[in-house]
A = this chain, B = another copy of it.
Amino acid sequence: MPREHESSCLARKLGTYVELSSSDRDAIARLEKEEMHFAADAVVRRRGEAIRHLFVVKSGWLTSHTDLCDGRRHVIQTYHAGDMIGLSDLASHRCNATLTACAESVLCPFPKNALDEIVTRQPRLSALMLALSARDQEVLIDLLRANARMGARERTVFLLLMLYYRLRLTSDDETGCLSCPLNQTQIGDMIGLTNVSVSKCLVDLERSGLIARDRHRIRLLQLGTLERMVEFEDRFSRIDTTWFPEPERAAA
């Protein structure tokens, strides 16, 4: 269990939630056999394509989005090192969203039916995937609440907090500092605003002393205040694993 010099970033991320057995680790390693490299702005897969595989993110930044018929865009989610892409597509035959690399990225593709093996042989991993899928739902619900019931300023704050806590899992930052390659149009497309409104909100937040900016880095100066502003809850640093099956005793 050499968690520090872990080769797989998926195992590292999952390992923050539960103790992984060596057979769990083997199963995870099998998901990461292959590697695909993508340049910034490369499209990994398009909405409507048949789903060939799921991905583990080894490094990089990706987003998934759909385009509306009137030309506007809805950015659904961002993905980062250690994330699994495609849990939300498990029920579909076709991709529901276009997946794009916003920065140079490395992905490990694995076929959908590799999950078959996990579901039959690795009960703890199955439980973990269910829990992660539930966590993703919680995040979507929070976003939905922000979109449906908050003004532009609060929605912007909400997104910054979400990105911050999401990235903190791998970045280990404690200072409220956040590095975000998304431009303001993309940010707006995540929270139902135009690039113009996002700009105005960010300028305003900066003038209010709540955030500071330098290029693509944003620093959240008063985390507590910001969190109270939008009733934010961190969904990322912990999940409930108490209901998981016992780890297997055997196997070294």
A residues near B, CB below 8 A? Answer: 51, 66, 68-69, 72-74, 76, 87-93, 96-97, 112-113, 115-116, 119-120, 123-124, 126-127, 129-138, 140-141, 143-145, 147-150, 189-192, 231, 235, 239-240, 242-245
The answer to whether A74 and B144 touch across the interface, beta carbons within 8 angstroms, is yes
Residues of B within 8 A of A120 (CB): 123, 245
The answer to whether A88 and B130 touch across the interface, beta carbons within 8 angstroms, is no
The answer to whether A88 and B192 touch across the interface, beta carbons within 8 angstroms, is no
A60 to B4, CA, bound (A): 50
Residues of B within 8 A of A113 (CB): 242-243
The answer to whether A69 and B231 touch across the interface, beta carbons within 8 angstroms, is yes
25 A-B pairs with C-beta separation under 8 A:
A66-B145, A68-B145, A68-B149, A72-B149, A76-B145, A87-B137, A89-B134, A89-B138, A90-B131, A90-B133, A91-B131, A91-B134, A92-B138, A93-B240, A112-B242, A116-B127, A116-B245, A119-B244, A120-B245, A130-B133, A133-B137, A140-B140, A144-B144, A147-B147, A147-B148
A87 to B104, CA, bound (A): 34
A interface majority secondary structure: helix
Contact with A231, one of B68, B90, B131 (Cβ below 8 angstroms): B68
The residue in chain B whose Cβ has the minimal distance to the Cβ of A144 is B144
The answer to whether A90 and B140 touch across the interface, beta carbons within 8 angstroms, is no
Which of A87, A126, A143 has most B Cβ within 10 Å? A126
Q: How far is the CB of A61 from chain B (nearest CB, A)?
A: 20
The residue in chain B whose Cβ has the minimal distance to the Cβ of A140 is B140
Q: How far is the CB of A124 from chain B (nearest CB, A)?
A: 8
A192 to B143, CA, bound (A): 12
Residues of B within 8 A of A131 (CB): 90-91
Which of A116, A143, A235 has most B Cβ within 10 Å? A116
Q: How far is the CB of A115 from chain B (nearest CB, A)?
A: 6
Asked whether A126 and B130 contact (CB < 8 A) given A147-B147, A243-B112, the answer is yes
Asked whether A137 and B137 contact (CB < 8 A) given A72-B149, A91-B240, the answer is yes
Q: How far is the CB of A238 from chain B (nearest CB, A)?
A: 9
The answer to whether B245 and A119 touch across the interface, beta carbons within 8 angstroms, is yes
The answer to whether B148 and A130 touch across the interface, beta carbons within 8 angstroms, is no
Asked whether A127 and B141 contact (CB < 8 A) given A89-B134, A93-B240, the answer is no
The residue in chain B whose Cβ has the minimal distance to the Cβ of A124 is B119
